[in-house]
Amino acid sequence: MKSLRFLIPLALFAALAWFLYAGLSLNPREVPSPLIGKPAPAFALPRLDDPTQTVKREDLLGKVWVMNVWASWCAPCREEHPLVVAFARERKVAVIGLNYKDRPGDARAWLERMGNPYAATLIDFDGKVGIDFGVYGVPETFVIDAQGVVRFKHVGALTSQVIRQKIEPLLKELGV
């Protein structure tokens, strides 16, 4: 009975150490999204270049597209932007920008300065569409298939490794 008193704390410590080890081995950039494999949320947002025009989710059905969530006030967005520009130039897939909680004038000036890789930039003034997509920070990038199903989500700034190892193989799989 006396030895059992020492084994219980040891067993609890071992269990705690295992959970800590398992948690530290996870990649914080790979946040599982409940949207993967489900239809992208419905939206109807004004375009940054012409706020009188609205783009809806239904307008994008029938083609694979990549949605890049960004803002002019976002430092990591500035880091990833040259990759987004190069990706949009090289690939035959529409890259849609979701300008998240930003001032339209600031966003337009940022794109003029940095280059505009987007087939369309949609304005998410209040962040409601971002919330529907499960965005909790910028930048984030999604791949949506021709049926409007979310197939991939990347949290944080894109890297050439993520594009090469995850996005491009998925786009090939989707026939792009």
Asked if 115 contacts 38 with a C-beta cutoff of 8 angstroms, the reply is no
For 109, the 3-state DSSP assignment is: helix
Question: If one looks up domain 30-173 in CATH, what number appears?
Answer: 3.40.30.10
Token pair in block for residue 118: 């987007």
The larger pLDDT score, comparing residue 150 to residue 91, is at: 150
Q: Give me the mean pLDDT over the 17-35 stretch.
A: 64
Token pair in block for residue 82: 């040259």
Dmax (CA) of the chain:
78
Q: How many percent of the chain have pLDDT more than 70?
A: 84
Residues 6 or more apart from 157 whose CB is under 8 A from it?
76, 77, 79, 80, 139
pTM listed for this prediction: 0.82
Cα dihedral value 51, 56, 59, 63, nearest 10: 110
Q: Which DSSP category does 146 fall into?
A: T
Segment (H or E) for 142: strand 140-144
What are the boundaries of each domain within the chain? 30-173
Q: Is the pLDDT of residue 15 over 90?
A: no
pLDDT for 91 = 83
The number of residues making up the chain comes to 176
Token pair in block for residue 117: 């890789």
Number of H helices, E strands in the chain: 6, 7
The larger pLDDT score, comparing residue 5 to residue 68, is at: 68
For 169, the 3-state DSSP assignment is: helix
